Chain A
């Protein structure tokens, strides 16, 4: 199947700093990537849809100035948590759909990035 890679897999930072998380599609091009957030023992909640070459579309209640999303190429989307606070500590997961012969409607997910803000 198609491979999605996230980096870093975990990060610890001080309150007030910014953290960038990368999401890459390794063997396919992804015009659209999705960022999810997951709290402990809860399901995934979609934060935003990242569109290559254009602005991201944020879900209701998600602060666009807090969670900056950039999708500069067909294989890379980044999520930057700005001025992070302890309540931003969470597990962030990206996903993408393969826009080629493997396009069956299936979404592929990265391994996730655990953010801990002290």
Chain B
């Protein structure tokens, strides 16, 4: 059974720091991994989708890497800003179009 774990559960940093959020999964037989952002009381915004054949994806200040063999993915946020404050979720397929989510990392970036 696929399980997804995210570390740390919460993170509070001053503006400008570079951050690394971690995601691990137990079953490495995945065909992609997705990172999402969730603001309080809101739905999910897709940030990055990494296919199993890829090692990383970049979008602006975000960079996500994927190491299938070790069952790990990291989301790197460069030069963090207060607007980055949110919960970040990673998810992997758990069946046909189903996603298994981690519990998320709650990020607070203070000025």
What residues make up the interface of A, taking CB atoms closer than 8 Å to B? Answer: 1, 6, 32, 34, 41-44, 46, 49, 91, 93, 95, 97, 104-112, 114
**Given A32-B97, A44-B89, A93-B44, 8 extra CB contacts under 8 A:** A41-B106, A42-B103, A43-B101, A44-B99, A46-B94, A93-B43, A109-B44, A112-B42
C-beta contact mask, B61-101 vs A, less than 8 Å → 1, else 0?
00000000000000000000000000001000110011101
Q: Are A49 and B89 in contact (CB under 8 A)?
A: no
**Residue in contact with B31 in the complex, picked from A1, A105, A112, CB distance below 8 Å:** A105
What are the residues of chain A within 8 A of B31 when measuring CB–CB? 105
Interface status of B51 (Cβ within 8 A of chain A): yes
CB distance from B8 to the nearest CB of A (A): 14
Size of interface on B: residues with Cβ below 8 Å to A: 23
Please list the residues of chain B having a beta carbon within 8 angstroms of any beta carbon in chain A.
31-32, 34, 36, 41-46, 49, 51, 89, 93-94, 97-99, 101-104, 106
Contact A111 B42 (CB under 8 A): yes
Give the interface SS of chain A, mostly helix, strand, loop or mixed. Answer: strand
Closest 4 CB pairs of A and B: A109-B44, A111-B43, A112-B43, A43-B101
Interface centre among A107, A111, A114 (most CB of B within 10 A): A107
Among B49, B51, B104, which residue has its beta carbon within 8 angstroms of that of A43? Answer: B104
**CB pair A105 B98 closer than 8 Å:** no
Residues of chain A lying within 8 A (CB to CB) of residue B102 = 43
Task: Give Cα distance in the complex from A91 to B36, angstroms.
Answer: 17
**A1–B46 contact, CB under 8 A?**
yes
Separation in Å of the B13 CB from the closest CB of chain A? 20
Bound Cα distance A53, B69 (Å): 39
A97 CA to B98 CA in the complex, in Å? 10
Residue A105 contacts which of B42, B51, B104 (CB distance < 8 angstroms)? B51
